[in-house]
Amino acid sequence: MTTPVFNPFDPAFRANPYPFYDALRELDPVHVTPFGTIVLTRYDDIAHTLRSNDFSRDIEANANEPTDPLNKAKRDRRRGREGAKSILNLDPPDHTRLRRLVSKAFTPSAIERLRGRVQELVDDVLDQAAARGGMELIDDLAFPIPFQVISDLLAMPTDRAEEMREWSQIITQNLEPTSTLDDLDKSDEVFGLLIPYLLNVIEDRRKHPGDDLLSGLIAVEEDGDVLSLPELISFVVLLYIAGHETTVNLIGNSVNTLLGHPDQLARWHADPSMGSRAVDECLRMDGPVQQTVRVPLVPVTYHGINGPVVAQPGTIVTTVLGAANHDPSVFADPHRLDLGRENANRHLALAAGIHYCLGANLAHLEAEVAVGSLVARFPSMKATGAITWRDRLTIRGVDHLELSF
């Protein structure tokens, strides 16, 4: 067999990346691409990279200058932007300072308090869908629930939900390795609308503070030098977008996975208490974030098939989370959905180390309630018509799935 090429442009890869990950892990687990970047597909390499202090998440500051004109132009444009970097792209000590400000709002006990509200929202959607005999999963359930919940947490108005949904899809398109300068133009346009909108909300909240997360962050910003206004804005944008964009896909992908494994759907229906572990297994099977990147700050040696591969400082290292989650050396029979899998929670779908997803508890709760309630009420639900996927690599998600009960 020849060495597989990591070619995300191949439509078959986009439809189902897991066989490609398997081939790469087996034949070239420390794959050096023609651009000189490194793609990792083994669980241990990825877990080590995400947890190590030898790596930076600040690609803009620490990665080598790109050699191809498109990536060079994208990087120059990003550098020329005003505003602060988000917590996701920061290293300590700035990362530590910002994360400390909000971590209290996302602890398991703080999130557990939202369960009643999430259940109420989900029940309402399912009651309406039951009356109609079915629903479109994404528009009717997967988008509205996380969007309403993050809006509640920040006390953001929800009257522009559809516009926000479109804006956030345009912004997150730039996380894709395949993004173009046109995508950057579109997201600059969106920021031109989103930032004044947020500034308005912030100014209004300064006058009328509440006990929401946004009021809390504004109080910190007003208090002195812990949080600047650009940092506040960038934080709110990330929370707002990360707070719903990915969870939509967790709900969509999980329902799709369950429909393909009716025995497991029946198992969850028979034992509703398995929700939390079931969500971990769904995250492992088909997570919404398939890959992320790091840059080594010192030379780091990986053990490739044909000997050591040294990632020099500045090399972009792509950690394919979806591949780690299907590594047979950690997860037995990895392509089988097993909602009772003992070690399902070792998945890396929410990353690991200091950037481990801040919203992990919230995403878990939302999926547990939304998917769990759907399974509890409609165990014989069926997909009607063709399912469509979003045409993306970093963020993997079902776009459209009609269900009949």
Interface residues toward ligand HEM, by CB under 6 A: 57, 87-88, 99, 150, 238-239, 242-243, 246-247, 250, 287-289, 292, 349-351, 355, 357-359, 362-363
Residue type, 168: S
Give the residue at shortest CB distance from ligand HEM: 359
Pick 25 or 355: Cβ nearer ligand HEM: 355
Q: How far is the CB of 157 from ligand HEM (least distance, A)?
A: 17
> What sign does the CA torsion over 303, 309, 312, 318 have?
negative
Q: Establish whether the linkage from the previous residue to 196 is cis, with ω within 30° of 0.
A: no
Closest distance of CB 1 from ligand HEM, Å: 31
- CB proximity list for 402: less than 8 A, separation 6 or greater: 134, 135, 136, 137, 383, 384, 385
By beta-carbon proximity to ligand HEM, the closer residue of 194 and 242 is 242
Cβ within 8 Å of residue 79, ≥6 positions away: 60
Q: Which of 351, 364, 150 shows the shortest CA–CA distance to 236?
A: 150
What's the CA gap between 275 and 262, in Å, rounded? 16
Nearer to ligand HEM, 187 or 234 (CB): 234
Closest approach, Cβ 356 to ligand HEM, in A, equals 7
Least separation in angstroms between CB 237 and ligand HEM: 10
Q: Which is nearer to ligand HEM, 31 or 85 (CB)?
A: 85
Identify which of 139, 140, 117 has the alpha carbon closest to the alpha carbon of residue 127.
Answer: 140
Nearer residue to ligand HEM within complex by CB, 107 or 181: 107
d(CA 132, CA 126): 10
| Closest approach of ligand HEM to the CB of residue 3, in Å | 27
181-190: long-range pairs with CB below 8 Å, 24+: 181/70, 181/73, 181/74, 181/77, 184/74, 184/77, 184/78, 188/81
Of 300 and 358, nearer to ligand HEM (C-beta) is 358
Nearest to 146 by CA among 231, 236, 217, 252: 252
Name the minimum Å distance from CB 170 to ligand HEM. 19
